[in-house]
Amino acid sequence: MFRRLILFRIGKIQALANFCSLENGKRSLANSGAGTSPCNSEPVSSKKVAPEKEYIISYLMNSCGLSREKAVSASGKVHFDSPDRANNVLGFLENHGFGKTQIAELVSRRPLILLSNPEKSFLPKIEFFLHSTGISEADLVEAIVKHPRYLTRSAEKQLVPVYEYLKDVVGSRKVGILLRRGSWIFDHGLDKKIIQNVALLRELGVPQRCIEFVLFHYPHVFTQKHESFKKIVSEVIEMGFNPLKTAFVLAIHCRAWKGGKDVWERCYETYTNWGWSKDDIYMAFRRQPQCMVLSEEKISRFLDFVVNKMGRDSRSIAQTPYLIFYSMEKRIIPRYSVLHHLFLNGFVKDGWSLASAMCPAEKKFLEKYVNQYLIELPRLLDIYEGKGSGEL
């Protein structure tokens, strides 16, 4: 009680000092109008806090290395009267390879870890990671700092079962990458739906490489409820996807991810606004499933260029939907400028192939469409680099 009274008085003194400092310091530009109160220019980090929080804030700054602003924010999520448990946590982290900067970041992201029993809560997870996964201590520290929820998950019920299962499916190297990446499939635990969903794809003859691809890049696909997953798989089959092809699992991903249905409908509407039929959209989806998860802005900007600059039918793009993914500034516009200039000078015929011009790597594009014409058209390279007029 005596200690808290002293801290209260210290808090009052500190608050007075802050006020005086603000009175004498420069006021912010945003609050420099006439009649502005000194309190209005007070930075967030120096706003008054409850006296009982000053002890927590001081501890977070002095022992954990947080800035005043972050300490004030974190103090609203953690409370303790004695530093003993928090000191134990900090000591544990230091003994297991965490540096001061990493500890500050970890505490800032997850202040409640200071109330943990590290020997009971953290040690089993760290031992599992180090001894069973082959991850180095440095990589483990980095992974935990980035994804502190690992310290709050059950090793026995979540981390270990999921790791062992995924290791059998995608191999130890890839599951190690998933761990370092913080894949949230580890948050779910190894429930029946993951096993059932993987089993369903195997029953359909989906190649192991495709299953590995989805588990590695889009693990959320397998966290769907099994009945919902079965429905999505049936829809994809009805759309004409071959389970033996990678496009099949990509289509499942596009239909299964959170918000996927709404995104699908927005993309569908955007394509129809540009004159595409249902058959056009389904053909594009079969050829490049991810064309149905693009933003409406990207789709419209590309098709607007195709129609109003190139003078082509927007529906022709349904056969080559992967073109929509290219950058307008870095690929579509510069290459079109070159081909248009070649056409105006009689070096290519009208109706030249978009795919042939846009798909090759830059080196091949330059060899085929720029370098060999530089004698006749010396401005061609400048046009490609955006330094000259392509007469668009």
Segment 115-125, tens digit of pLDDT: 999 999 999 99
Q: What is the pLDDT of residue 241?
A: 94
The answer on pLDDT for 318 being more than 70 is yes
Q: How much is the average pLDDT of 228-236? A: 94
The answer on pLDDT for 331 being more than 50 is yes
Question: pLDDT band at residue 37, thresholds of 50, 70 and 90?
Answer: very low
Question: pLDDT band at residue 133, thresholds of 50, 70 and 90?
Answer: confident
Q: What percent of the chain stands above pLDDT 90? A: 60
Secondary structure in 3-state letters for the chain: CHHHHHHHHHHHHHHHHHHHHHHHCCCCHHHCCCCCCHHHHCCHHHCCCCHHHHHHHHHHHHCCCCCHHHHHHHHCCCCCCCCHHHHHHHHHHHHCCCCHHHHHHHHHHCHHHHHCCHHHHCHHHHHHHHHHCCCCHHHHHHHHHHCHHHHHCCHHHHHHHHHHHHHHHHCHHHHHHHHHHCCHHHHCCCCHHHHHHHHHHHHCCCCHHHHHHHHHHCHHHHHCCHHHHHHHHHHHHHCCCCCCCHHHHHHHHHHHCCCHHHHHHHHHHHHHHCCCCHHHHHHHHHHCHHHHCCCHHHHHHHHHHHHHCCCCCHHHHHHCHHHHHCCHHHHHHHHHHHHHHHHHCCCCCCCCCHHHHHCCCHHHHHHHHCHHHCCCCCCHHHHHCCCCCCCC
The answer on pLDDT for 210 being more than 90 is yes
Q: What is the pLDDT of residue 265?
A: 92
Question: pLDDT band at residue 179, thresholds of 50, 70 and 90?
Answer: confident
Question: pLDDT band at residue 340, thresholds of 50, 70 and 90?
Answer: very high
The answer on pLDDT for 286 being more than 50 is yes
Q: How much is the average pLDDT of 268-291? A: 95
The answer on pLDDT for 148 being more than 80 is yes
Range from 40-54, 223-237, 304-318 carrying the lowest mean pLDDT: 40-54
Q: What is the pLDDT of residue 158?
A: 85
Q: What is the pLDDT of residue 49?
A: 62
